[in-house]
Structure 1
Amino acid sequence: MRKLTIIGGGFAGLTAAITAAEAGVKVTVHEAHRTPGGRARTAEGPYLTNEGPHALYDGGPHWTWLKQRGLIGAPAPLPVSEALRFRFHRGGALRRTPPLGMLRQSLRGAEQAPVDLDFRSWATGLVGERAADAAAAYVGVATFHHDPGALSARFVQERLHRTAALPPEARYVRGGWGELIERMIARAWETGVRIETSSRVESLADLPLGEGPVVVATALPAAARLLGDPSLTWESGRTVLFDLALRTRKGDPFVISDLDAPGWIERFTAQDPSLAPAGEQLIQAQLPIGPDESKADGVAHAERLLDLGFPGWRERTVWRRESVSQGRTGAVDRPGTTWRDRPAVERGDGVYLVGDQVAAPGVLAEVAFTSAVEAVSLALRTGRGVPRTERGVPRKGLDLKHA
């Protein structure tokens, strides 16, 4: 394989581009926006916000890959004094420690959890209803789902085990994830990748002749439209994203994790003061909401937690932003399903699908990374694409869903 085309310049697309270019392939990336990055972009301005809380888990495969290439940059370590300001909301009050049963549950590996049973039922039989509900709420930080207890026990337990690990797996990119993306772009250029921005591809038939296999690295709904395949769907979360800049006050918590209902508030300037102007602190929160709930419900949830943990926060507010993220927070697996049941990476006819809602293992961004590396591996193994005249029009009898 001499050429590869990638549609989408987010984390998954850039991972695929670098992986292929390092193998000697000539790569072209088409990015619809004026800058690459996707959901890994960091906002411009005085408050360097990501699209919701972002962290890298150093237990995942992408951590080693990024570190080997010098793409993580200087770490943003969390001072011990800040780590001690982790608070749990339980029964209407903030506490320093979670229920003991929840801690016991977090020690179990995902392989011990059944696929066909929901997490709440399984965990209740092990640690009791109270601890099971607390564990399910806590894992909302890694599912962005309003009811993690209703999801597959295997899926939820993997995320509980990873997010509650000691020492913590979460690591932070200094300056926001935009810095990581800038380093990935530079690495792509160094390896010869051509990145075309403001280049929206509406159909595979629009691509030039002889550009090799195609990796579609867009959100799943966009991929379904591009490939003309409505079967490309999978459930994701729906959550309110709440960004807040406050004048600094000594003693504010680092994190508030709501164990009564999924919700997470994190003060990101605790580990990286550069994210906000001097004398101010940046808070990012995510509050999952159900199908019948509104943005106002999520915001009200955040404000109740802020009232408990951030005294005088309303008077100290210098900037705030609220939004709803739907279908943009990665896949969630219902009982009876695993990551293998999601839309396949290999679509047939030299087309590959990558992102955080496809058939690849991992937690959050790890799914995007793993699928990108897998797509390039499959394309290299095949060694050729499909002639341009066949692209965009599935061959008679070809079932893209099962290809």
Structure 2
Amino acid sequence: MRKLTIIGGGFAGLTAAITAAEAGTRVTVYEAHRTPGGRARTAEGPYRTNEGPHALYAGGPHWTWLGQRGLLGPLAPLPPAEALRFRFHRAGALRRTPPLGLLRQSLRTAGKAPVDLDFHTWARGFAGERAAREAAAYAGVALFHHDPGALSARFVQERLHRAAAVPPEAHYVRGGWGELIGRMVARACEMGVRIETSARVESLDGLDGLDGGGGPVIVATSLPAAARFLRDPSLTWESGRTVLVDLALHGRKGDPFVISDLDAPGWIERFTAQDPSLAPAGHQLIQAQFPIGPGATGADGVAHGERLLDLGFPGWRERTVWRRDSVAQGRTGAVDRPGTTWRDRPAVDRGDGVYLVGDQVAAPGVLSEVSFTSAVEAVSLALRADHLAARHA
């Protein structure tokens, strides 16, 4: 393939760029912002926040791919003492151990969950009402959805197993995901990829004036942005709606590492527990997510979070030195309802040499793994189509 154009320089776009460049393709990436990264950017300044809690799952395909290319970089291991500061919010109180019904082992041995049944109904049949509800809430860490129990049992079970794996699959990039993105950008540039920043492309027609058109195009934007770019309103899929709360506190001995809410989906994580470089000395950086339903407001999610903070971080209001609240709408990956799988999402191959990648398209995996898998698949399809066209020519 002689030429490839990529719209969007986030994790998916950079994965596609490196993969294509390795195959000898001339690649140009157009990124609308002044820096690449998309939702994988890490904020500049004293508090190195990501857009919501971020982790790399070691069991995923991108873990191997990044490692083979030396792109993982240094990781931030969790000290054993911090691992003991995991707390579960259950029946209005914080507990040090998960309830017996939660199931990590009981759900693992329950067989492969059905696609057509919702998770709550399926899990309730062998684990009981309360355990099913708490398992769904715990899985929320990898779902960012207000009602995980209503989603496909197969979909939720996979994420529950990945989130509850022993030893843990979740790992943390030292310095934040921006460090990983920086390494990917450097690798792409070393391979001759041209990355144009502050270059907003409004449509496929707009490419003609930039690079003369021609050659396949990979659209590596959010799904709503892709729908506008491709003028295709059918490009939709359900995602979560989540309140994100970032806090910097004066440190205090005994602060928990994680609070997992088993009464309703919600997650608070002290990211400086594993990576003190994310905040100035003496400060703790906390990132949290609280999913909200269609009828709820951002204030409802914030109130949920503040109740948990009151329980787990005494005096947090007086200790707060910096805070940021936001609402993520359709920016937390795909969720699959009963009767659907990842195969039912918008296809990667859109025809006429256009390919769609990102975390809401037809590719397997958990969270960022969907972006990675779809990017590699898009390049593979483009290479195959180019090879067939060359043969026929």
TM-score, normalised on structure 1?
0.94
Q: Which amino acid aligns with 2:97?
A: T
The equivalent of 2:55 in structure 1 is 55
2:136 is matched with which residue?
136
Q: Which residue of 1 aligns with 2:8?
A: 8
Q: What is the match of residue 295 of structure 1?
A: 298
User: In 2, are the aligned partners of 1:9 and 1:36 still within 8 Å (CA)?
Assistant: yes
**C-alpha displacement of 1:105:** 5.5
DSSP-derived class of the 1:383 partner: helix
User: Residue 348 of structure 2 aligns with which residue?
Assistant: 345
Letter in 2 for 1:327: G
Question: What is the CA deviation profile of residues 236-257 of structure 1, one whole-angstrom value per residue up to 9, with x for unaligned ones?
Answer: 0000000000000011000000
In structure 2, what is the Cα distance between the partners aligned to 1:110 and 1:232? 35
- Whether the aligned pair in 1 keeps the contact of 2:119 and 2:151 (CA below 8 Å) is yes
> Which residue of structure 1 aligns with residue 337 of structure 2?
334
Corresponding position: 1:214 with 2:184: no
Deviation per CA, 1:337-363: give whole Å up to 9, x if none.
Answer: 000000000000000000000000000
Q: Distance in 2 between matches of 1:280 and 1:36?
A: 28
What is the deviation of 1:182?
A: 0.3
Match of 1:285 in 2: 288
3-state SS, counterpart of residue 131 of structure 1: helix
Q: Which moves more between the two structures, 336-345 or 93-102?
A: 93-102
Aligned with 1:236 (options 228, 236, 239): 239
Residue 139 (structure 1) shift = 0.7
CA distance in 2, matches of 1:370, 1:109: 28
Q: Distance in 2 between matches of 1:30 and 1:376?
A: 16
* Whole-Å separation in 2 of the counterparts to 1:274 and 1:385: 50
Alignment of 1:4-403 (within 5 A): 4-104=4-104, 107-108=107-108, 112-207=112-207, 208-383=211-386
1:263-293 CA distances to partner (integer Å, 9 max, x unpaired)? Answer: 0000000000000000000000000001111
Q: CA deviation at 1:210?
A: 4.7
Tell me, what secondary structure is at the counterpart of 1:88?
Answer: strand
Amino acid at match of 2:20: A
Contact 1:106–1:164 under 8 Å retained in 2:
no
2:285 aligned partner, one-letter code: L
2: CA distance, partners of 1:379 / 1:324: 36
Following the alignment from structure 2 to structure 1, what is the Cα–Cα distance between the partners of residues 108 and 53? 26
1:391 aligns with none
Could you tell me which amino acid in structure 1 is paired with residue 87 of structure 2?
R
Unaligned 5+ residue runs, structure 2?
A: none
Distance 1:211 1:72 in 2: 34
SS of residue paired to 1:261 = coil
Q: Counterparts of 1:190 and 1:222 in 2: how far apart (Å)?
A: 29
* Letter of the 1:30 counterpart: Y
4+ residue runs over 6 A deviation: none
Q: Which residue of 2 aligns with 1:390?
A: none
1:138-158 CA-to-partner distances (Å, cap 9, x unmatched) read: 111100000000000000000
Change (3 A) 1:134 1:42: same
Number of aligned positions between the proteins:
386
Give structure 1 stretches of 5+ with no counterpart.
387-403
CA distance in 2, matches of 1:246, 1:110: 42
104-113 vs 197-206, which deviates more? 104-113
SS at 1:335 equivalent: coil
TM-aligned CA distance change 1:372 to 1:343, over 3 Å: same
Determine the C-alpha separation between the residues in 1 that align with 2:188 and 2:15.
9
User: Do the aligned partners of 2:48 and 2:175 also contact (CA within 8 Å) in 1?
Assistant: yes
Where 1:100 maps in the other structure, the secondary structure is coil
**For residues 110 and 56 of structure 1, what CA distance do their matches in structure 2 show?**
26
SS at match of 1:212: coil
CA distance in 2, matches of 1:226, 1:70: 34
Asked whether the 8 Å contact 2:104–2:164 carries over to 1, the reply is no
For residue 107 of structure 1, report the CA deviation from its aligned partner.
4.6
Cα distance in 1 for residues equivalent to 2:36 and 2:80: 35
CA–CA separation in structure 1 for the residues paired with 2:137 and 2:183: 35
CA separation in 1, counterparts of 2:105 and 2:136?
10
Distance of 1:180 and 1:298 partners within structure 2 = 30
Kept in 2: contact 1:110–1:161 (CA 8 A): no
CA distance in 2, matches of 1:136, 1:171: 22
Structure-2-length-normalised TM-score: 0.96
Shift of 1:169: 0.1
Q: Which amino acid aligns with 2:99?
A: P
Q: Distance in 1 between matches of 2:272 and 2:257?
A: 9
Per-residue deviation at 1:70? 1.1
